[in-house]
């Protein structure tokens, strides 16, 4: 479990640094996420950590978190860093890393912690792309996301969950995170 925590910490730290570079002047910029400008994406990312804290503790998904304003007059990087600390502590509770996402059609899907890692890495890519930052991500976290997710989440499951769009084409020689982003519906 400690290696999983370290990977998640690397991803959250890297994404927090990207958020720390965002300025209010960039909030209206478009992002690779449909219907999200930078401010909406940032707010979604800030809601993600408390969302996963609840799931790590065995709670039900609290989608209302995503409708709240988590930015206010604060710097997004600071808000994210606070949420990341709470999330990392929650994932270290006995049994938290084994929790799996229930699938809409029944059964269990991926580990929730793996989904949190994916979201931190993928939304970091979205934000970096939208705000013209380095979008390569933390190499260890990107490698873990690539191993766990790339090629393992077919389009028919995407449609059932509504979480990701159909995969897009990416060159085989594209960086790993660009390939993951395309796999999860981002256009390069």
Domain boundaries in the chain?
A: 2-183
Q: Count Cβ atoms below 10 Å from residue 121 Cβ, excluding itself.
A: 28
Band (pLDDT 50/70/90 cuts) for residue 1 is low
Residue 127 CA to residue 38 CA, distance in Å, equals: 7
Query: Strand locations in 72-177, DSSP E?
Result: 100-102, 108-111
Give whole-number Cα distances, 142 to 46, 135, 139, 176, 181, in Å: 20, 11, 5, 7, 11
pLDDT, residue 140, reads 97
Average pLDDT of every residue of the chain: 91
**Token pair listed for 181:** 């982003």
Residue 63 CA to residue 76 CA, distance in Å, equals: 20
Question: Which CATH architecture group holds 2-183?
Answer: Up-down Bundle (1.20)
Which tens digit of pLDDT belongs to each residue from 66-107?
A: 999 999 999 999 999 999 999 999 999 999 989 998 766 777
pLDDT, residue 110, reads 84
Q: Mention every residue, 6+ apart, whose C-beta is less than 8 A from residue 97.
A: 1, 4, 91, 111, 113
Which tens digit of pLDDT belongs to each residue from 29-71?
A: 999 988 899 999 999 999 999 999 999 999 989 999 999 999 9
pLDDT, residue 161, reads 58
Query: Strand locations in 23-119, DSSP E?
Result: 100-102, 108-111
Band (pLDDT 50/70/90 cuts) for residue 164 is confident
Band (pLDDT 50/70/90 cuts) for residue 185 is confident
Q: Mention every residue, 6+ apart, whose C-beta is less than 8 A from residue 43.
A: 66, 69, 70, 71
pLDDT, residue 166, reads 81
């Amino acid at each position: 479990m400690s290696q999983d925590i370290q990977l998640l910490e690397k991803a959250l730290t890297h994404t927090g640094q990207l958020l720390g570079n965002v300025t209010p002047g960039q909030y209206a910029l478009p992002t690779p996420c449909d219907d999200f400008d930078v401010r909406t994406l940032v707010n979604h990312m800030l809601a993600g950590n408390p969302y996963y804290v609840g799931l790590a503790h065995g709670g039900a998904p609290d989608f209302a978190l995503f409708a709240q304003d988590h930015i206010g007059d604060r710097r997004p990087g600071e808000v994210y860093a606070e949420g990341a600390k709470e999330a990392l502590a929650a994932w270290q509770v006995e049994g938290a890393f084994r929790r799996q996402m229930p699938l809409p059609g029944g059964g269990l899907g991926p580990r929730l912690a793996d989904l949190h890692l994916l979201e931190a890495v993928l939304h970091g890519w979205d934000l970096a792309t939208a705000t013209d930052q380095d979008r390569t991500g933390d190499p260890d976290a990107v490698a873990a996301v690539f191993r766990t997710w790339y090629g393992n989440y077919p389009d028919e499951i995407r449609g059932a969950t509504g979480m990701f769009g159909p995969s897009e084409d990416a060159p085989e020689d594209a960086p790993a995170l660009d390939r993951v982003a395309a796999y999860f519906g981002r256009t390069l």
